[in-house]
Amino acid sequence: MSQDIRQLEPQQLWNKFADLNAVPRPSKKEERVIAFMKNFGKNLGLETIEDEVGNVIIKKPATSGMEDRTVVVMQSHLDMVHQKNNDTVFDFDTQGIDMYVDGDWVRAKGTTLGADNGLGVATIMAILESTDIEHPAIEALFTIDEETGMTGAMGLKGGLLSGGILLNLDTEEDDEIGVGCAGGIDVTAKRPYQEEETPEFKIGYKITVKGLQGGHSGMQIHEGLGNANKIMNRVLFDCFENFGLRISEIDGGSLRNAIPRESNAIIAIDAIHEDTFLHEMSLQSQTIKSELKTMEPDLEIDVSKIETPEKIMDLGVQEGLTRAIYAACNGVFRMSADIPDLVETSNNIARVIIKDGDIHIGCLTRSSVESSKVDLVNTLRATFELTGCEVEFSGDYPGWAPNMDSPILKVMEGLYEELNGEKPHVAACHAGLECGILGQNYPEMDMISFGPNIKGAHSPDERAQISSAQKYWKFVLEILKRIP
């Protein structure tokens, strides 16, 4: 890891981020980072608790003269999204993130950076460790598994926290104060299918969609980024009638909350149509790349000859499946009628796996309006059930309803304008924050979300802005001084 990171200002923040990023912390495998955080709290001599699901709570008394202020919960999640470029050799289970400075940005070498939500965790660690930062009594809440189910927030019981204000440090625009977020639900379509022996007159090809940016399936769903699963399906859709194309395997996408960057398909075509197939693939590739050239300049669609696969998918299932994926909503379903420029409801077709007689299609549906979420979920269910799939719903979590009369919001709005000479952008976001879930057991807690500029979260292009971190750090320190 570059020592340059530790020299950045504010050093308290970047040193703690470097310490944290040396610890592998994949979602659902947080044992090492939980132990790391517990040791951190205990070494400071602070009350440190691990609850029954793995969340860590560290409590620090108020500094002198601030004992009568409202107790503040500072909250961030310990896990990070694990994504890497196809040509990057890296083991997230054993290696720390390899970071470097690129002008005004901190990046990782070929992987996600973990600034989401590592910079929030590092902020809280720096304040817990400090001896000269003024603050009221603090309850630091480090949740687990935010990125793949929010099970940490869901498992946090009432009564563990006494704070009246919660500062969630998981927003990715430094001029934004978050007051609401979308809820979400996983939609999974599955079905078995019969495999057939591949006829002797067919030959094998591998099709690869790669080079897409990927990104956050909530915050970036409206940007027009390419979805590798939808692009792959488009490439395959008409090829049976024209070239006798039959699907053997598809492996596309990865995490439910990341816009898919890559997809691979093993197919068989009629040997007699090989030249025409290659010509048409070249034309279609150029058409798709031309459409997406502004947002996806590095998109590649490669077609390479391979050994003919032994098995192919039943034709009737193949035709139904490709039609269902084509018809399934991906991207924005509805914009908010009440909050300008806010995506209300969306879907990300995150994962498509076809192999060994089984189909698995995984989606993440988000919405700030429960009835609209249900409407889109039923739309997806109907689409996939028409092709014989069983559709399951899981991981349902609530949104966070905005409270424009929030007392801490009024404090932070005034303070932001005082520090920066302009008003902040007060907004709800289309990402899933833990505030809505935490509010179920702590309904009286006044909640707000903010953070530094982080771009490309959930992708290997993730980067954190150094100058923004400095601006954010000053804001954090002043907020703690002004807590009523």
Express each pLDDT in 205-216 by its tens digit. 999 999 999 988
Residue 402: predicted pLDDT: 87
DSSP-derived secondary structure letter, 84: B
Surface-to-core class of residue 452, CB atoms within 10 Å of its CB (0-12 exposed, 13-18 middle, 19+ buried): buried
Tell the burial category of 207 from Cβ atoms under 10 Å away from its Cβ (0-12, 13-18, 19+). buried
Indicate left, alpha or beta for 97 from its phi (over 0: left) and psi (-120 to 50: alpha).
beta
Report the pLDDT averaged over residues 226-244: 93
**pLDDT reading at 1 higher than 60:** no
Task: Give the mean model confidence (pLDDT) for residues 183-187.
Answer: 95
- 170 flagged as catalytic: no
Looking at the predicted structure, is the pLDDT value of residue 340 above 70? yes
Domain limits, CATH 3.30.70.360, in the chain: 185-394
Q: How confident is the model at residue 384 (pLDDT cuts 50, 70, 90)?
A: very high
pTM: 0.77
Exposure of 420 by Cβ count < 10 A (0-12 exposed, 13-18 middle, 19+ buried)? middle
Does residue 287 register a pLDDT over 80? Answer: yes
Q: What is the pLDDT of residue 2?
A: 62
pLDDT of residue 423: 96
Residue 296: strand, helix, or coil = coil
Is the predicted pLDDT of residue 158 greater than 70, yes or no?
A: yes
Preceding omega of 117 cis (within 30 degrees of 0): yes
Judged by average pLDDT, the poorest of 298-302, 334-338, 374-378 is 334-338
**What would the mean pLDDT of 183-212 be, rounded to a whole number?**
97
185-394, what's its fold?
Answer: Alpha-Beta Plaits (3.30.70)
Return d(Cα 117, Cα 80) in angstroms, integer. 7
> Which two structure tokens, joined as six digits, stand for 272?
């007699």
Q: Which of 100-114, 309-323, 422-436 has the lowest mean pLDDT?
A: 422-436
Q: Of 27, 4, 149, which is closest to residue 83 (Cα–Cα)?
A: 27
| Least confident stretch, 93-102, 227-236, 394-403 | 394-403
* pLDDT band, very low/low/confident/very high, at 255 (cuts 50, 70, 90): confident
pLDDT at 57: 98
- Looking at the chain, which residues constitute the CATH 3.40.630.10 domain(s)? 3-181+399-482
- 418 is an active site residue: no
| pLDDT, mean of residues 122-137 | 97
**Average of per-residue pLDDT across 410-427:** 96
In whole angstroms, how far apart are CA 135 and each of 65, 70, 129? 9, 10, 12
pLDDT of 355 over the 80 cut: yes
Per-residue pLDDT band at 283 (split at 50, 70, 90): very high
pLDDT at 121: 98
Confidence at residue 433, expressed as pLDDT on a 0 to 100 scale: 85
Which stretches of 149-218 are DSSP H helices?
Answer: 151-155
pLDDT at 238: 82
Catalytic residue among 145, 146, 344, 446: 146
Q: Say if residue 123's pLDDT is above 90.
A: yes
CATH top class, domain 3-181+399-482: alpha beta
pLDDT confidence of residue 86? 80
